[in-house]
Amino acid sequence: MSKQRVNRFECCLCRGDDIKPVCVKLGVHYVKCLQCGLVRQHPYPSTEEINKYYENYKSLKSSQSEYLSDNGQCVFRRDKTLTFMDLGLPKDCFKDKRVLDVGCATGDFVEMISGVGAKTVLGIDLSAECISEAQARGLPCQLASYTDISEKFDVITMFHVIEHIIQPQDFIEHSFKLLSPGGMLLVETPVIGLISEAFGRRLRYFMPTEHLNLFTADCLIRLCNLHGFSLTAQVRFGSGNDSEMISPPNKRAMDAIAKKCGFGDTLAIWLSKPGTGGESAFAK
C-alpha cells in the first residue's frame, strides 16, 4: 500500500503543484492539476475537518435530498438496476460470489443483492450513524476502514466513494489486492468534462469537504489500469440537472441525450482483475 504523507496543496495522484483555478464554491477553491487533469479541492481539508463533517452524515444528507432517506432506497435500486443493464452485467453475476460493498452507507446495495444468491455479502462504512441504521435493518454491515480489510472477495463495489477520499489510488490498489483472480470491481463516481465546464461552480458535484477529487473518465481508467485492472465496460450518464432544477420531461430528455452521446457527469465502470489464465470470472 502506498502510504505517502498527504500534502494538502499537492495533487494526490501525481504530486504536482502546477494548477489552474476552476471555481470557488462556498468559499472553497477547486483547481485543476495541469499535469494529470484531476480537479481537486485546494487545499485539501484537514483530517479533523473531514471527520467532523461525517459525524452526522446520514442526518445531514437525508435533510438535503432523497439520498439516505426512505424514498431514496427505491431510487437507488432503480438506478443501480439500469446501470448494471447498461454495463452488460450478467443477471446472475453475484450468484455464489463473495461481495464487499465499500461505503455502504445505510446498506441499500447490501439489501438489494442479499436475495440474489451471493455466497456472502458485507457492507462497510466509516459513518457510525449509517452503520447503526443498517444493522438495525438486520443487514450485514460493519464500521470499518477499507484499507484494514484483509479477506478475499470476488466482487467489490464502490458507489460514489472514491471522490470522497484524499488518496483514491490507495482504494484502487487495495481492491486489486483483495479481489480473487478474475474478480470484478464496480466503481461509480462523478466525472468532469463537458458538463462540468458548462455548469461551472454550479455543477452539482462541487461539494466542499465531501467531494475532494473529481476525475476525468480517462484519468480514472488510467489509474485503474496502472494498478493492474482491465476495463470491461463503462457508461456515462446524467445531464447535471437535479430533479428540482427542471421539469421531469426535460430532465428525462437531457439525461437521455447525455447518456447516448457519452458525456454524462457520472461514470460507472466494470473493471476486471486477470484470472489465473488471464481471463475474467464474469462473462460479458
Q: In this structure, are residues 234 and 268 in contact, taking their beta carbons and an 8 Å threshold?
A: yes
Q: Which domains does the chain have, with CATH numbers?
A: 61-191+216-272 (3.40.50.150)
User: pLDDT of 30-44, one tens digit each?
Assistant: 999 999 999 999 999
Mean pLDDT of 226-245: 94
Question: Residue 266 — pLDDT band, cuts 50, 70, 90?
Answer: very high
Which residues, 6 or more positions from 234, have their beta carbon under 8 angstroms from its beta carbon?
87, 217, 221, 267, 268, 269, 270
User: If you average pLDDT over every residue of the chain, what do you get?
Assistant: 91
Tell me: pLDDT of 154 over 90: yes
Q: How many CB atoms lie within 10 A of CB 254?
A: 16
Tell me: pLDDT of 191 over 70: yes
User: pLDDT of 48-87, one tens digit each?
Assistant: 999 898 888 888 877 676 666 666 678 888 999 999 999 9
Note the pLDDT of residue 1: 36
Higher pLDDT, 257 or 4: 257
Tell me: pLDDT of 22 over 60: yes
Question: Residue 2 — pLDDT band, cuts 50, 70, 90?
Answer: very low
Mean pLDDT of 118-146: 95
Tell me: pLDDT of 91 over 80: yes
Mean pLDDT of 125-150: 95
Mean pLDDT of 153-176: 97
Whether the pTM exceeds 0.85: the reply is: yes
Note the pLDDT of residue 276: 72
Note the pLDDT of residue 280: 66
> Cβ-count burial of 166 within 10 angstroms (0-12 exposed, 13-18 middle, 19+ buried)?
middle
Note the pLDDT of residue 35: 93
> Grid coordinates in use for 19?
494548477
The 10 Å CB-count burial string (b at 16+, else e) for 38-76 is bbbbbebbeeeebeeebeebbeebbeeebbbbeebbeeb
Note the pLDDT of residue 65: 66
